[in-house]
Amino acid sequence: MSNDTNSDLCYLEAGQVTGPCGGLEGVTLSTETDEALGTLDGVVIDPSERRIRYFVVHRRGWLRSHRYLLSADRPTQITKDRRKLRLPVEPGELTSCQEFDAESIPKFSDEHLLTALFCNTPKGEAADAA
């Protein structure tokens, strides 16, 4: 997240995310070869760009659990039963990702919603329109 300013990002719990494939609560993440990565705890979004920046992956360890930030800038496939997301990552890649710090990224709020709804143009679309 070194290129991002945390003030632009916010956290949204998986149970609050719904889309064409249904809700994301309880969804597991795996590699393309079905090796388990963990469960989807939530997503970190950039409201002004109207896009997901990171998946927050909950992984249980022997002594404690970890939540990692996995970049959402990669193709993702959802299984037919809509309970698993497959990502093009290696199993060991997750532990090299930055850990999610709930204190550094605010939860999604009404202000973030207004930004997403009324932002003139998402940053990425401004360049495309020119």
Please report whether residue 104 resides in a domain.
yes
Is 1 part of any domain?
no
Query: 106 is in which domain, residue-wise?
Result: 6-123
The domain total for the chain is 1
Q: How much is the average pLDDT of 18-45?
A: 87
Element (DSSP H or E) covering residue 114: helix 110-118
The backbone region for 12, taken as left when phi is positive above 0, alpha when psi lies in -120 to 50, beta otherwise, is beta
For residue 129, tell me if it sits in a domain: no
> Residue 58 pLDDT > 90, yes or no?
yes
More confident residue, 124 or 62: 62
pLDDT in tens, 74-126: 888 888 787 899 999 987 888 889 999 888 887 876 676 677 778 765 555 55
Q: So what's the pLDDT on residue 115?
A: 72
Evaluate whether residue 100 is within a structural domain: yes
Q: Among 43, 45, 5, 9, which Cα is nearest to 25's?
A: 43
